[in-house]
Amino acid sequence: MMAITGRDEKHLGRIRLGMVGGGQGAFIGGVHRVASRLDDHYTLVAGAFSSDPERAKASGRELGLPEERCYGSFEEMAKREKRLKDGIEAVSVVTPNHMHFPVAREFLKRGIHVICDKPLTTNLRDAKRLKDAAEKSGATFAVTYNYTGYPMVRQARAMVEAGEIGEIRLVQVEYPQDWLTEEVHNKQADWRTDPEMAGAGGCVGDIGTHAYHMACFVSGLQAESIAAELSTFVEGRRLDDNVQVMLRFTNGARGMLWASQVAVGNENGLRFRIYGTKGGLEWEQENPNWLWHAPFGEPKRRITRGGAGAGDAAGRVSRIPAGHPEGYLEGFANIYSEVAQAILAARDGGKVDAAVSFPRIDDGVKGVAFIEACVKSSGRNAGWVSL
């Protein structure tokens, strides 16, 4: 049985974390908070949890933060925290998409590390500006494409890197959901279906980008061009709720990506299938502890997290023995803990272990470029657009 090695972790005192967004009634803020705590690398010390100052402060109080660290606005938080001796070192940005840019920029300006939800921004221009700001500040910037934190996704990537499936020919990736099958109005749906807040991509921005990041992460390939059709099936909806994309990768491989919010019977069906000259790999998010490997000409094998056949790349981001499921929250926490390694290294001038891997600003920029290319292609009757 494979050893669960864990990361060669630094625990040099918890990172003081702030949060923008993620207050009362928000889903993803709670996920980020749990993810940040799982391996004991962070302590939440401040927040501006809502754009409504009263709600922001009430949310902070509910989380047990001292009154003076519950801010009514992110600007006030950035300014004051920077002045404090024990001010935040990193901030999680978990607002609707349109606020990622102004919020992240405000903290970067002050050299504060940023962990930002996907997609990075609502347009490519802002994404590039944010990249410049991040480079200028020298701060660590992470984008929470959380699904590449799963051990068996890391395992798949390591197998591809080791040449176990040969030269990649095909990358099939999908992310079907069904929660927007009908017109829905609630805190989650409202901003995701509003172009002012979500950006030009609906389904393609919200979950298509997860699938795209997954395809590139596991294959190690870059897409060269895409042809996409965005559809809106629910009448009156202002953004796409389904996207189908063909991809051409730089090495000549071909791919297909499907994401949908109206595929009845699907919850979070993120899945990849990747085929090379020597074999194939298949994985699905709803059963994340298993990876299927088909060496060409041999029976298909099931590699399990922590079990025989799984290697170091999976072991270092696993916590518990094989057969006990690890899932969404642990995968999310892996991203936070990898980022912590980079932040702690920055704190003491040390080096980050080469095995540390998390989605960075470049991945965020690529995600936004993908969204824009899909929108453009769809507007041209699914014509090919280069990336």
CB nearer to ligand SOE: pick between 177 and 318: 177
Pairing of strands 242-249, 141-143: unpaired
Residue 11 or 238 with smaller CB distance to ligand SOE: 238
Let me know how long the chain is.
387
Asked if 376 and 201 touch (Cβ cutoff 8 Å), the reply is no
Question: Pairing state of beta strands 90-93 and 113-116?
Answer: parallel
Q: Which is nearer to ligand SOE, 9 or 178 (CB)?
A: 178
Residue 90 touching ligand SOE (CB under 6 A): no
What's the Cα-to-Cα distance from 51 to each of 48, 194, 281, 331, rounded to whole Å? 8, 17, 44, 29
Nearer to ligand SOE, 28 or 387 (CB): 28
In this structure, are residues 50 and 73 in contact, taking their beta carbons and an 8 Å threshold? no
Q: How far is the CB of 270 from ligand SOE (least distance, A)?
A: 8
The contact pattern for ligand SOE, residues 256-285, with x = CB under 6 A and - = no contact, is ------------x-----------------
Residue 204 or 339: the one with the smaller Cβ distance to ligand SOE is 204
Sequential DSSP letters for 79-127: HHHHHSTT--SEEEE-S-GGGHHHHHHHHHTTT-EEEEPSSS-SSHHHH
Q: Which is nearer to ligand SOE, 154 or 316 (CB)?
A: 154
By CB under 6 A, is residue 81 in contact with ligand SOE? no
Return the bridge partners of 231, or none.
Answer: 242
Q: What is the smallest separation between the CB atom of 207 and ligand SOE, expressed in angstroms?
A: 5
Among residues 81, 106, 174, 206, which is the contact residue for ligand SOE, using CB under 6 A?
Answer: 206
Is residue 207 part of the contact set for ligand SOE (CB under 6 A)? Answer: yes
Residue 168 found at the interface with ligand SOE (CB under 6 A): no
**Residue 126 is a binding residue for ligand SOE (CB under 6 A):** no
Torsion, Cα 270 275 278 279, to 10 degrees, reads 40
Site membership for ligand SOE, residue 99 (CB under 6 A): no
Local structure of residue 317 (DSSP, 8 states): T
* Whether the Cβ atoms of residue 116 and residue 367 lie closer than 8 Å to each other: no
Smallest gap, in angstroms, from Cβ of residue 253 to ligand SOE? 26
Distance CA 141, CA 125 (A): 17
Which two tokens mark 203? 């389904």
**How many residues bind to ligand SOE according to rule CB under 6 A?**
4
CB closer to ligand SOE, 97 vs 219? 97
Rounded to a whole number of angstroms, the minimum distance from the CB of residue 3 to ligand SOE is 30
* Greatest pairwise CA separation for the chain in angstroms: 65
Residues that bind ligand SOE (CB under 6 A): 177, 206-207, 268
